[in-house]
Amino acid sequence: MAEFQTTVCNPADILRGGGKVEIGVYGTEGEDSWHDAGALSGLEFDETMEVSKEENDNADADEVVSKQEASIKANLHEALKSLTWDKLRGDFDKKTVTPGTAVTGAIQTFAADTTEADKLYYIANENADGTEQTITDFKCGSIDLEEGTDYIRFTDAKGYHGVIFQAGGNYDPTKEIRLTYNYTPVASVLVQSGSRSILPWFKVRITTKNAGARHRITFYKCKIKAGKKYSYPKDDDADRRIKMPIEIIAKQDPDYHLDPVTGNGFIYGIEQRSA
């Protein structure tokens, strides 16, 4: 029979599960500034330090951290998620978007009791050129919703478009809302690389939830450290997904996350919430 040396002090202190990785434009704030990188595997966060010894002639030597960095590694499973690559590589690649055939009368329904005022709701389909969709009809139950009174249009930091319902007027969250609009989708995207040298800074956060408690690591100033790599499986493999490895390096952020005591920038922050 095993003889255990101790017991679990607090099960709530055990961190379990995978992580949700989100990427955002460096220096931006707010929940709408984050983009979900989607399904992935092999997620790792690794902090590295270089410790240097400072020798003295008349005192004991001291050891100080001379360099500190953090790295994030993962295998992206949604390899065709273009917005993820836009955040990671920015204008390093040249992107050419070709529009497709215009779609008229697209319908998006918000079920009763699923919306609330002053919250952003995205329109499902975007125009190829990044402009706003044309709303042709917007009803709450059988009543028309008026722009500026019952809702406002909004474009987030990523260029995605949506609506924000306004309290009062004809907006009633207990009723079904039906949006009809026109848009022109993307037919194809050509990404060309090799002619440019500047990579963008961005921010990254990893969120894990256990029994409603949130554990989040936010890296304030990041860049990718390695280029694209496609590892093609065999056609008859059980898992035929092409997993694309990424490696990200996080450095000090003196512009937006400054330590007032030392005058140096923070690299990351870890937040644990009880609920």
Out of 42-56, 165-179, 184-198, pick the least confident. Answer: 42-56
C-alpha atoms less than 13 angstroms from C-alpha of 246 in its C-beta half-sphere: 25
Torsion of CA 187, 191, 192, 193, to 10 degrees: 180
Distance CA 29, CA 32 (A): 8
> Mean pLDDT in the chain?
92
- Higher pLDDT among residues 17 and 207, named by residue: 207
Structure confidence at residue 184 (pLDDT): 98
Instruction: Give mean pLDDT, residues 121-148.
Output: 96
Structure confidence at residue 226 (pLDDT): 92
Structure confidence at residue 22 (pLDDT): 94
Distance CA 1, CA 7 (A): 16
- Higher pLDDT among residues 64 and 238, named by residue: 238
Percentage of the residues of the chain whose pLDDT score is greater than 90:
73
Are the C-beta atoms of 70 and 218 separated by less than 8 Å?
no
Structure confidence at residue 2 (pLDDT): 83
Q: Which two tokens stand for residue 93?
A: 């690649």
Alpha helices in 141-210 (DSSP H): none
Does the pTM surpass 0.75? The reply is yes
Instruction: Give mean pLDDT, residues 145-173.
Output: 92
Structure confidence at residue 158 (pLDDT): 65
Q: What's the residue count for the chain?
A: 275
Q: Is the pLDDT of residue 187 over 80?
A: yes
Strands 265-266 and 103-110: unpaired
Query: What order do you get walking across the sheet with 161-165 strand by strand?
Result: 120-122, 161-165, 151-155
Instruction: Give mean pLDDT, residues 256-260.
Output: 95
Per-residue pLDDT tens digits for 199-229? 999 999 999 988 778 999 999 999 999 999 9
Structure confidence at residue 275 (pLDDT): 61
Q: Is the pLDDT of residue 30 over 90?
A: no
Structure confidence at residue 44 (pLDDT): 96
Q: Is the pLDDT of residue 134 over 70?
A: yes
Alpha carbon of 166 to those of 78, 120, 147, 178, 180: distances in Å? 35, 11, 10, 16, 19
Distance CA 119, CA 140 (A): 16
Alpha helices in the chain (DSSP H): 82-89
Structure confidence at residue 131 (pLDDT): 94
Neighbours of 62 (CB within 10 A): 10
CA nearest neighbour of 159 among 138, 129, 191? 129
Structure confidence at residue 157 (pLDDT): 65
Instruction: Give mean pLDDT, residues 18-43.
Output: 89
Q: Token match 């490895």: residue?
A: 245
Distance CA 113, CA 174 (A): 5
